[in-house]
Amino acid sequence: MKALTWQGRRNVSVDTVPDPEILEPTDAIVKITSTAICGSDLHLYEIFGPFIDSGDVLGHEPMGVVVEVGSAVTDLAVGDRVVVPFNISCGHCFMCRRGLQSQCETTQVTEYGSGASLFGYTKLYGQVPGGQAEYLRVPLADYNHIRVGSDLPDDRYLFLSDILPTAWQGVEYADVPEGGTLAVMGLGPVGQFVARVGVHRGYRVLAVDPVPERRAMAERHGADVFDLTDSVVDELRDLTDGRGADAVVDAVGMEAHGNPGVSAVHKAMGLLPDALAQKVMETAGLDRLAALHASIDVVRRGGTVSLSGVYAGEADALPMKTMFDKQVSLRMGQCNVKRWIDDLLPLVEDPADPLGVMDLTTHRAPLADAPALYEMFQKKQDGCIKVVLQP
CATH number for the domain spanning 128: value is 3.90.180.10
| Distance (Å, whole) CA 93 – CA 74 | 19
Q: Alpha helix (H) ranges present in 239-389?
A: 260-269, 274-284, 290-298, 320-326, 337-349, 370-379
Based on the domain organization, do 202 and 88 belong to the same domain?
no
Which phi and psi (to 5°) does residue 15 adopt?
-130, 165
Residues 54 and 139 in one domain: yes
- What pLDDT, on a 0 to 100 scale, did the predictor assign at position 280? 45
238 with 287, same domain?
yes
Residues 134 and 152 in one domain: yes
| pLDDT at site 129 | 97
Mark which of 332, 358, 374 sits at the end of a domain.
Answer: 332
Residue pLDDT tens, the chain, 391 long: 999 999 998 999 999 999 999 999 999 999 999 999 998 888 888 766 678 999 999 999 999 999 999 999 999 999 999 999 999 999 999 999 999 999 999 999 999 999 999 999 889 999 999 999 999 999 999 999 999 999 999 999 999 999 999 999 999 999 999 999 999 999 999 999 999 999 999 999 999 999 999 999 999 999 999 999 999 999 999 999 999 999 999 998 765 444 554 444 445 445 445 554 454 444 444 456 888 999 999 999 999 999 998 876 676 788 999 999 999 999 999 999 999 999 999 999 999 999 999 999 999 999 999 999 999 999 999 999 999 999 9
Based on the fold, state whether residues 220 and 348 are members of the same structural domain: no
pLDDT of residue 71: 98
Helices (H), ranges, the chain: 39-46, 94-97, 154-157, 163-174, 189-200, 212-219, 232-238, 260-269, 274-284, 290-298, 320-326, 337-349, 370-379
Q: Are residues 156 and 186 in the same domain?
A: no
| Distance in angstroms (rounded) separating the CA atoms of residues 314 and 281 | 7
Name, in order, each residue with C-beta under 8 angstroms of 386's C-beta and a sequence gap of 6 or more: 36, 37, 189, 360, 361, 362, 363
Q: What's the domain range around 139?
A: 2-162+336-389
Q: Are residues 130 and 213 in the same domain?
A: no
Question: Tell me, what CATH number does 298's domain have?
Answer: 3.40.50.720
| H or E segment to which residue 309 belongs | none
Eight-state DSSP code of residue 145: -
Counted domains in the chain: 2
Residues 210 and 357 in one domain: no
The residue count for the chain: 391
Reported pTM: 0.91
